[in-house]
Structure formats: C-alpha cells, structure tokens
Chains A and B, each alone.
Chain A
Amino acid sequence: MWPAIYIMWLRQMKRFSRSRARMVASVAQPLLFLVTFGFGFSAIFRQAGAGNYIDYLAPGIVAMAIVFSSVFSGIEVMWDRQFGFLKETLVAPVSRAALMLGRTLGGATVAMIQGVLVLVVTLIVGFRPASWLAIVPTLLVMTLISVIFTAFGTAMGARLRDMQGFQLIMNFIIMPVFFLSGALFPLQGLPTAMYLIVRIDPLSYGVDALRALLINGGHFGLGIDLAVLVAVAAALLWLGARLFRTIEV
C-alpha cells in the first residue's frame, strides 16, 4: 500500500518538475488577476471604507492558484487514459484506493508548491499578512484546499472520456466555484440567493479560513471553516476511491 502511494506521488513530482511551462502558467494567471483586479478596484474599495483591496484579494488569489492547479492535476487521469498509462496502473496488484490516494497526494503537493509561489508573488506585489506567524496554519488550510480539489479532479477524471467533458467541468463547476467563493469580493450585503450559493460552495470556507488567518477577516469563523474543509476533503477522497475501484478501460 505505502510503496504504491509513494511511487504514484513521486511520478506526479517528476512530471511537474519537468514541465517548466506548467510552473510559469500556474503563476501567470493568478498574477494577472491580482494586478488587474487588485489595482483596478483598489481606489473604489478604499473609498467604500473597506480597507486595502490587495490585502483583501491576496488570500483569494492564493486559493485560486491552488484550485486551478489541483483540478488540472486530478484531471490528468483522463490523459493517462487517453495515452494508455492508466491501464498499466490498473493491472498492478495494488488497491485502487492506494492508486487514487497516491495520485491525489502528488497533485495536491504540486498545487501546494504553486500556491506557495503565488503567495510569495502577492508579497512582492505588496500584500502584508496581519501576522507572519499565521503562515504556518495558512499552509495547513492550503493543503486542505489542494486535497479537496485534486480529489475532485481525480474523481471526475476517472469518469471523463475526452476533452469536451473537461471543458464542461471547468466552465460549469470550477469557474462558478471560484467566482462564487468570495475570493474576489466581500460577503457582506450580498443578495440572499447569491449568499446561499456562496454558503454551499466549499471553496468559500477555504478562502474564508485563509482570510481569517492572514488578515483577521473571517466571516464564518475559523472553526466552521476547518470543519467544512475536512469533511469535504474526506468525502471527495472516499468518492474518488470508489470511482477508481470501478473504473474500466
């Protein structure tokens, strides 16, 4: 079990370390959001008496980097299916749950690395956390977000057959999950319908936990955030392992 998890993890690490393009792309898009939204709305945000928008936005951008990287890593299962490698792992005498777990941990580690890179970039752009000590629990929350979305991507990848399916997932699940998470805007005073959607979006709790830790600006409360994140991570890992067990090629 453990060697299988380890080697699946190691494979993701090697693939990532060999793809410079992926590393650059993963930082470029969040940086674009940070700079355009951050500086674009900063004056109006301040006028509304809501403080420094860059500080408000930075945790959301870190979450964004993690979500997109995680889903891409998870969805790689689909590429493995297309290019045949999936079969090699499926005929190996190891449990499918171990395959899924190793793969998810690998993807989550990649997402963490990219999240940390983006966090560093936000510091360069001018973001300052309320306390430097908060970085340690922040890394924990980032790990949880990584695991959730890699597990989600892996579960979807186990069922998807082609690129069209991937586009559907990105446009109809991941984009709404990101935009409706409060990563870009405060949750106070939202229309009720939208607020309800925000409340069922798991990423909202991830972004909220990051804000609670980094800028003392939580909305739901850190305890609730962590409880939701852990529960969703566990549920998605369970679902992914289940879908992997019945995968057929």
Chain B
Amino acid sequence: MNAIEVSHLTRAFGDMKAVDDISFTVGEGEIFAFLGPNGAGKSTTIKMLTTLLQPTSGTIRVAGHDPVTDPNSVRRSFGIVFQDPAVDDELTAWENMEFHGVLYGVPKAERRQRIDALLTFVELYDRRDSQVKEFSGGMRRRLEIARGLLHTPKVIFLDEPTLGLDPQTRIHMWSYLQELNRSDRTTVFFSTHYMEEAERVAQRIAIIDHGKIVAMGTVAELRAQTSTDTLEGAFLSLTGGTIREEEGSSTDRMRSMMRARRGR
C-alpha cells in the first residue's frame, strides 16, 4: 500500500490556482522531498494532505484514508512539523507534549514514557519544566519534532523543518528520522529550500512550480533529465532563476510587529 496517493489534486483561491492538477504517490517507508520556489504550492499541498484545507477537486489518500470524508483516520495516521512554530509559549515543554498526547489519545503510561524518551532524544529533558517562551528557535523546533512523533505516526510531514537550525541539530534530527524510517518504516514527506539536504536524505523528489509538478524522480534521475551534476543545478534549470514574490500573510505582519515590540 502507498502511504500517500494524490490524483489530479487542485486548489484554487479565487481565480488563482495555487495547486493545479497534480498527481503523485509516496510509497510506504519512503523519504520523499517536495521542493519548489516560494509560492509554488508546497504548503497548500501539505495543508490539503493534512486535513487543514479542502481541495477544490481531485482525490487524496493518506495511509489509505480520505482527508475529506474521513479526516480523523487521516489525522491519527500522521504527525506534522509546521513551517511556522505551533507550540504554546505559556506552557512548559512537558505540558505541550502532554497536551498533544491527550488529544491523540495515547494511553497514560505509554504517553509518559514516550514523552520522557522523546524529550531526552531532542535534548530538552533537562528543560522540560521551562515555559516554551524561554526557548530559542532551534529548541522550539526540536520540541515540535518530538511532539510530532509522540503518537507514533505512520507518516510524518515536515514543512521546512530545518529552517533556522544549526548544522548539529539538523544532522541529529535527520539521523533520528532516518533511523525511525528504517526501524518502523515511517514514511517521511518533507519540504525544504536546502538542496543539499534533499540530495542527502531523500529517496525520491518532486519539484513543484506554479502549482504544477515539473519533475519527479530520484536525485540521479533529475540530474540526468536536466544534464546537470547537482540537485541545485537541476532545480534551477527546471524552475528558472527569477526570484518569486510571496505575499506576506497577516500572520507574518503580526509576527514582525510583535518582534519589533519585544526589541529583537
């Protein structure tokens, strides 16, 4: 069975098609990279796969379930690390984990044991009783990764998970995800702007631009297809060299306002 099956998926906002008739499958136990310039439709696709957004047309299966008709089965089957932070600043690291475990119905004994193990893994165990607002960006990310794995999902979605992480944390994170992928056959679906990261860890890659998938295959296949010798070269040859404008959302504006007020 495939972990993810997408067929003729489209999402329009008004006249603009953010995602335009895309189809792809991700096999169970695969590490799959979803690449594209800003505004290409990556996040919109991930939102539809994770039940946060309704497709305009087309069908989706995640772990065999349809996000439109059976969202709760889909929700139980995946974990996600969002592009923007999604932890509660006022709660402690441990409380954020506990909150997640209760929402996902992880039994208490197993929950407590897994929370300790995961916090230890992301090296936040000593800080488990600190409020998240005291954490740096990298620490928050690590907490979110631990949280996304708490309910032992079959598929894990990572939307630019390594943005703002130092190389140590990045390597550490991927070695754990790859280990999990080997031992539990957890499927990993991620987007990133770091080409060397995709090149290193992804077994297969899809490149999306202007809402359409422009190429799909292994790193070697993509390089061969474009007669380039790096993934970055292939990416640029497929998507062109122009810089994309992406409109700032109200969230971005609010964030920069808050940051200015806090003086950082």
Contact = CB atoms under 8 A, between A and B. Distances in A.
Contacts of A249: 47, 52-53
B51 A88 contact: no
Contacts of A163: 254
Contacts of B84: 84
A89 B95 contact: no
Contact of A11 (B80, B88, B105, B147): B88
Contact of A88 (B72, B86, B250): B86
A110 to B, nearest CB: 13
Interface stretch (A42-50, A91-99, A193-201, A215-223): A91-99
A84 B54 contact: no
A87 B84 CA distance: 10
**A4, A88, A248 — most chain B CB neighbours (10 Å):** A88
A159 interface: no
B76 interface: yes
Interface string A1-34: 0011011000100110011000000000000000
A18 B90 contact: yes
Contacts of A6: 102
Given A83-B85, A84-B86, A91-B50, A3 B105 contact: yes
A94 B90 CA distance: 23
A167 interface: no
A90 interface: yes
A90 B254 contact: no
B91 A14 contact: yes
Given A3-B105, A91-B50, A249-B47, A84 B254 contact: no
Given A90-B52, A91-B51, A249-B47, A84 B82 contact: yes
A87 B147 CA distance: 13
A87 B82 contact: yes
Nearest to B257: A163
Contacts of A11: 88, 91, 99
B234 to A, nearest CB: 32
A85 interface: yes
Contacts of B131: 18
Interface string A144-181: 00000000000000000111000000000000000000
B221 interface: no
Interface string B164-203: 0000000000000000000000000000000000000000
B127 interface: no
Nearest to B86: A84
B87 interface: yes
**Interface extent on A, as a size class?**
20 to 34
B52 A83 contact: no
B251 interface: yes
Nearest to A17: B90
A93 B105 contact: yes
A89 B98 CA distance: 13
**A18, A87, A161 — most chain B CB neighbours (10 Å):** A87
A89 B73 CA distance: 15
B23 to A, nearest CB: 23
B90 A161 contact: no
A230 B10 CA distance: 44
A93 B254 contact: no
Given A82-B251, A83-B89, A93 B72 contact: yes
Given A85-B87, A249-B47, A91 B52 contact: yes
Contacts of A4: 102-103
Interface string A50-87: 00000000000000000000000000000001111101
A84 B50 contact: no
Contacts of A161: 250
Contact of A93 (B91, B104, B250, B251): B104
A88 B100 CA distance: 8
Interface in A93-133: 93-95
Contact of B102 (A7, A82, A84): A7
A181 to B, nearest CB: 32
A14 B105 contact: no
Given A11-B91, A88-B100, A248 B72 contact: no
13 contacts: A3-B105, A14-B90, A82-B250, A82-B254, A84-B84, A88-B87, A90-B51, A91-B75, A91-B80, A162-B253, A248-B52, A249-B52, A249-B53
Pairs of residues from A and B, 10 with the lowest C-beta to C-beta distance, nearest first = A84-B86, A93-B75, A92-B103, A7-B102, A93-B76, A93-B72, A88-B86, A84-B84, A15-B90, A82-B254
